[in-house]
Structures are given as C-alpha cells and as structure tokens.
Amino acid sequence: MLIKQLSIFLENKSGRLNEVSQILGNSGINMSAFSVADTSEFGILRLIVSDPELACKVLRDNQFSVNLTDVVCLNCPNEPGALAKALQILSDNKISIEYLYAYSMGDSANVVLKPDRLEECIKVLQEHKMELVKASELYKI
Amino acid sequence: MQEVGLTANDIHGIDDLTKLPFTIKYDLRDNYPFGLFTVPMSEIVRLHASSGTTGKPTVVGYTRKDIQMWAEVVSRSLCMAGVHRNDIVQIAYGYGLFTGGLGIHYGTENLGASVIPISGGNTHKQVQLMEDFGSSVLCCTPSYALNIAEVMKEMKVDIKNLKLRIGIFGAEPWSESMRKEIETKLGIKAMDIYGLSEVIGPGVSCECEHQCGMHINEDHFLPEIIDPETLQPVAPGEIGELVFTTITKEGIPLIRYRTRDLTRLIYDKCTCGRTLVRMEKCKGRSDDMLIIRGVNVFPSQVETVLLNMSEVEPHYLIQVDREGTLDMMSVMVEVQEQFFSDEIKKLEELRLKIARNLEQVLGIAVNVKLVEPKTIARTAGKATRVIDNRKI
C-alpha cells in the first residue's frame, strides 16, 4: 500500500520544471501524478512515476536533489461528498495530513496523501473499507 | 624576535623599524582573548572586540592611560574637522563592544562638547532629536547618514530648520561622490575619520577642514606603507598596504600591524598648517574582508558556520547589494541531499536556522537562499566566494 513518491528540490529559476520533464521523458519514465509546493525562493516537485528508483537515479546523475517519500493513495468514487467522508474518518482518528493532491478519471478519483502517521493511516482506512491503490497499479497509470 | 635573530641592541633609529616582524590579525586570534596584552588584567580598564576571521572576535584591552590617549586623539580629530565645545554632538555609531560609539563619546566629552549618546538605529527618533535638541554634529557611518536623509524626507523635515553643520563619518569605505551626496542632502560638511580597534579605534586619523587627506596622529601611531606581495616598504607617495606601530599604547601595543587597507601617504605640509602626515581615502583591501553597514565581515566566518552544520554543504556564495542606502548581504547555500526534506516547513526551518547561526557570528542580519546542489562553482584554485554589486 506504500507508494514511493519522488520529491525534487527546485530553485525558483525558469526552465527547471522543463528540464525535469525532459530528463524523465528521455529515460522512458512516465509521470502519473504530480504537484508543486512553492515559496518565493524555491519549490518542491512531488511526482508519482512509472519507475521511482530509476527516476531517482537519472535525476541525481543530472545534479538534482531528490528523495523518495512514502505516501498512500486512496481511491474513492468521483462524486460529491466522497472525499469529505474519507477526510472525516482520518480526522476522527486524529490523523493529520501534511499534504495531498488528487485527480479524477471517469467514475473514480485518486487522492495521493502524506499523513503524519503512515501505518496508522493505512490501518484506519482499511478498517473503514476505503480502497487503497497498490503501487504497481498507480505506476502504470 | 629570537626567530628573526633580533635584540634591542639592533634598533638604533626609526629606519630600523623595517627589521622588525609584522603582526597580523591571526596573531590576535591565536592568542584569544588576552594573550597579547602586556599588562596584568588589573590594569585593564576596558575591553573592546571586533569581528574575527572565524567564530571568535578580535579582542583589545585598554589601560587608564590608553583611554586618556584615545580620548585625546579623537578630540584632536574632531577639532581639526571643525567641532568645538559649543557643539551638540549626536553619536549614532553603535555603543558596545564596537569601538565606534564609545571612542567618539570619550573624545567629544574630552573636547567639552555636549554628547547625545543615542547609538545606532531608531531613525525616526534620530531625526526628532536633531530637531528638538538642535544637534550640530552627526557621527555615524556614511551609509547610515544617507538613510537618515531619506527618513528626513519621508518625515517632511526641512534641513534648513536644523542646526546640523558637520558630519564625522567612518567605519566603512565611501567615495567622493557619496560625500557630495551627503553634503547636499543634509546640508553639512562631511568629514572622513579613520581607525581600527587593533590600533586604538576611531581617531587614528581624520580630515581637517580642507578635506584633502586624513592627518594621522603619528606621535602615537607610526605609519608605513608596504607592498602587500613583497612586504617591502614602497617609495614615498606610492599606494600600498597601511601598517601601524603603536608607540604609546600600554594595554596591547602592536608592532608593524598590517591593516590590509590600501592607501598612500602625503608628506607635504597641509594648507591648515599641520605637518602630521596625511593618508588618502582607502582604495580597497589586500584581503577578502567586507564591510557591511559598518560591520567587518570575513567570508571565512560564513565558512566556519556552515562547516559546523551537518545539514548543508560548505559551498556558499556571498552576494552584497545596496538597496537604496543600506547594504544587504545574501548567502547562497547548497542543500545537502540527505537533509533535503519533502516538507516546505522543514526547509524553511533550515533556512532560518542557517540565518540565525550566521547572524550570531557575523553580528548582522543576512538573507539566506537555498540553492540546488552543485550550482555553486567548485574551482581548483581560490573559489570566488563573493559577488559585490555595490557601487560605492
């Protein structure tokens, strides 16, 4: 249930994002989901890719500062109130969310989550019959 | 002396001075804090400190006689710059371990003028006191003088309504064009004063009313100009590094102390009638020290701080800009991969931690910018560590 997400440090300079996508594209790596967290000085690019270990290597070879972080991906129905239900469960169980990003495709939506307590979060969601996406499936999207 | 094979019998006259070895800043650092004092601590009545090249400051000590001599050379300086006992002198140099504030203070009191010991900062109050107390002399760094002028404009204060007449500016380099700017904006005569804490503090030399070089108080501080590469004395009037031998100091006398300031000496008698040798405005330094808002900063201090932090690489770049009238120093630091955090707030915390550590050692606030690894050039030779964008 643990998904390996890439975190890349980017200076606030033009072309950095472009360079990352070029490098990954040239190595045959596909991006399934991503989000950028920014301040005025720098940003952190968070990526779910088809081959996290390889992506890490090629980016490091190109002088990027990269790390792998464990996150979890929740799949819920693509309808109003679906996300609220999941977030309520987490809140009731005192699990905080550091950040999240999501996308919908057809009938369902994928929500990539970084909770403060990963194992707890997985346990609680499974207890409440919430669907967690397997890593192998997510990397293929 | 034994190392160079010298005894007191080898010194017969002033020309023999060049036989003596130099003293450098590292000598004070290596003997931190009081190793170079030549009197017992019971005779030391004052301690001052200024920036060192690493984490520790440079410390100097004064006996009662040293304090009196210091007051005397500062009084002489103020007097030759046109200050007299009926003046009201606003001292906006920092009071504390820095020699600027207290140095000018004692000299002004000794002269008999009225001291306003306001120290630096709180610019609105500075202007208010100028209006209310009728200050006639302003003492501060030249860049702060321009800052005060800016705030006066904001406060809609007309310089014609003030009693300001003279400014005594030093602690950082400033050009003739900056002088014209200050004189116009504040309606005063802007005089240059020079000094360094190792020699005494402010008052080593000062301009007279003709503003044609600073008269050195050579009866107390013997000047020489040397070639910083060969360490030999240069021909009279040539530019080189200023070296001082203190003749009357008791607490921490220094022989041939290398100031790292570059200038030349002018030996002709001055229009004012004084025969004390003059030195020109300093042209630069023969080391990498920076002066930021009047504070001495060594790139090696930044290196020391970064080396003590495992979260960052000791590769850095210093950039200095002057935004308006005040200097701003930014330090670019590479994020080390193992400590690169996925969370923005952790990176922000790191950035602020670096800034705090730097501020503690340097004594000034700096801007820290985190940059990607390997973006700071690594060179085989001496790395370029400083980009100074200021046009002084």
Measured in angstroms, the CA of A106 and the nearest CA of chain B are apart by 30
Q: Is the Cβ of A126 closer than 8 Å to some Cβ of chain B?
A: no
Mutate to test the interface with A, among B372, B375, B378 (most CBs of A within 10 A): B372
Q: Are the Cβ atoms of B344 and A69 closer than 8 angstroms?
A: no
Q: Is residue A32 part of a domain?
A: yes
Q: Are the Cβ atoms of B371 and A11 closer than 8 angstroms?
A: yes
Angle, helix B99-111 to helix B64-80, in steps of 10 degrees: 70
List of residues 6+ apart from A12 with CB closer than 8 A: A38, A40, A41, A42, A43
Mean pLDDT on B265-281: 96
Q: Please measure the distance between the N-terminal and C-terminal CA atoms of chain B and give it in whole angstroms.
A: 41
Residues A64 and A9 in one domain: yes
* Rounded-to-integer distance, Cα A93 and Cα A116, Å: 12
Instruction: Examine residue A52 and say whether the peptide bond preceding it is cis (omega within 30 degrees of 0).
Output: no
pLDDT band at A84 (very low <50, low <70, confident <90, very high): very high
B299-312: burial string, b at 16+ Cβ within 10 Å, e else = bbbbbbbbeebebb
Measured in angstroms, the CA of A129 and the nearest CA of chain B are apart by 29
Can you tell me whether residue B89 is helix, strand or coil? strand
Q: Is the Cβ of A90 closer than 8 Å to some Cβ of chain B?
A: no
Could you give the angle at the alpha carbon of B211 between the alpha carbons of B150 and B171, nearest 5°? 55
The percent of residues in chain A predicted with pLDDT above 90, rounded, is: 77
pLDDT at position B61 over 80: yes
Residues A65 and A91 in one domain: no
Residues A51 and A64 in one domain: yes
The percent of residues in chain B predicted with pLDDT above 90, rounded, is: 80
The whole-number pLDDT of residue B38 equals 98
Measured in angstroms, the CA of B355 and the nearest CA of chain A are apart by 15
List of residues 6+ apart from B370 with CB closer than 8 A: A9, A11, A41, A42, B333, B334, B335, B347, B350, B351
Residues A128 and A76 in one domain: yes
Measured in angstroms, the CA of A93 and the nearest CA of chain B are apart by 23
Residues A16 and A61 in one domain: yes
Residues A103 and A64 in one domain: no
Residues A99 and A112 in one domain: yes
CB B133 within 8 A of CB B116: yes
B220-246: burial string, b at 16+ Cβ within 10 Å, e else = bbbbbbbebeeeebbeeeeebbbbbbb
Chain A neighbours among B 346-375 (CB < 8 Å)? 347-348, 351, 369-375
pLDDT at position A107 over 70: yes
Q: Is the Cβ of A98 closer than 8 Å to some Cβ of chain B?
A: yes
pLDDT band at B382 (very low <50, low <70, confident <90, very high): low
Residues A75 and A63 in one domain: no
CB B221 within 8 A of CB B246: yes
CB A113 within 8 A of CB A120: no
Higher pLDDT, A105 or B356: B356
Higher pLDDT, B203 or A34: B203
Q: What is the pLDDT of residues B68-125, one digit of tens each?
A: 999 999 999 999 999 999 999 999 999 999 999 999 999 999 999 999 999 999 999 9
Mean pLDDT on B362-378: 87
* Main-chain phi, psi angles of A57, to 5 degrees: -60, -50
Residues A129 and A74 in one domain: yes
Q: Are the Cβ atoms of B347 and A42 closer than 8 angstroms?
A: yes
Chain B CB contacts of A9 below 8 Å: 335, 340, 347, 370, 372
The whole-number pLDDT of residue B380 equals 62
Measuring CA to CA, which residue among B380, B278, B365 is closest to residue B328?
B365
Tokens at A69, concatenated? 């972080």
Mean pLDDT of chain A: 92
Residues A74 and A64 in one domain: no
CB B195 within 8 A of CB B205: yes
Give me the number of domains chain A comprises.
Answer: 2
Q: Please measure the distance between the N-terminal and C-terminal CA atoms of chain A and give it in whole angstroms.
A: 16
Could you report the predicted ipTM of this complex, rounded to two decimals? 0.78
Q: Which residue of B has its CA nearest to A12?
A: B371
Which of A44, A69, A94 terminates a domain? The answer is: A69
Q: Are the Cβ atoms of A9 and B342 closer than 8 angstroms?
A: no
Q: Is residue A50 part of a domain?
A: yes
- The shortest CB-CB distance from B348 to any of A11, A39, A98 is to A39
- The shortest CB-CB distance from B337 to any of A44, A65, A114 is to A65
Q: Is residue A140 part of a domain?
A: no
pLDDT at position B248 over 90: yes
Mean pLDDT of chain B: 93
The 8-class DSSP code of residue B55 comes to S
> CB-based burial of residue A29 (10 Å sphere; 0-12 exposed, 13-18 middle, 19+ buried)?
buried
pLDDT band at B381 (very low <50, low <70, confident <90, very high): low
- The shortest CB-CB distance from A63 to any of B343, B344, B373 is to B373
Which of A15, A48, A69 terminates a domain? The answer is: A69
- The shortest CB-CB distance from A65 to any of B335, B344, B351 is to B335
pLDDT at position B379 over 70: no
Q: Which residue of A has its CA nearest to B369?
A: A41
What pTM was estimated for this model as a whole? 0.82
Can you tell me whether residue B23 is helix, strand or coil? strand
Q: Is residue A141 part of a domain?
A: no
Mean pLDDT on A72-94: 94
CATH number for the domain harbouring residue A35: 3.30.2130.10
Tokens at B300, concatenated? 């090696």
Q: List Cα–Cα distances, B319 to B272, B325, B327, in angstroms.
A: 42, 16, 10
What domains appear along chain B, each with residue ranges and CATH number? Answer: 8-287 (3.40.50.12780), 295-388 (3.30.300.30)
Q: Which domain holds residue A84?
A: 70-134
Q: Is the Cβ of B340 closer than 8 Å to some Cβ of chain A?
A: yes
Mean pLDDT on B328-349: 85
The whole-number pLDDT of residue A15 equals 87
Measured in angstroms, the CA of B177 and the nearest CA of chain A are apart by 35
Measuring CA to CA, which residue among B197, B224, B240, B4 is closest to residue B100?
B197
Chain B CB contacts of A46 below 8 Å: 342
> CB-based burial of residue B357 (10 Å sphere; 0-12 exposed, 13-18 middle, 19+ buried)?
middle
Q: Is the Cβ of B339 closer than 8 Å to some Cβ of chain A?
A: no
Measured in angstroms, the CA of B343 and the nearest CA of chain A are apart by 8
Higher pLDDT, B88 or A42: B88
Q: Which amino acid is at B245?
A: T
Measured in angstroms, the CA of A74 and the nearest CA of chain B are apart by 20
Q: Is residue A139 part of a domain?
A: no
The whole-number pLDDT of residue A141 equals 72
Residues A15 and A61 in one domain: yes
> CB-based burial of residue B33 (10 Å sphere; 0-12 exposed, 13-18 middle, 19+ buried)?
middle
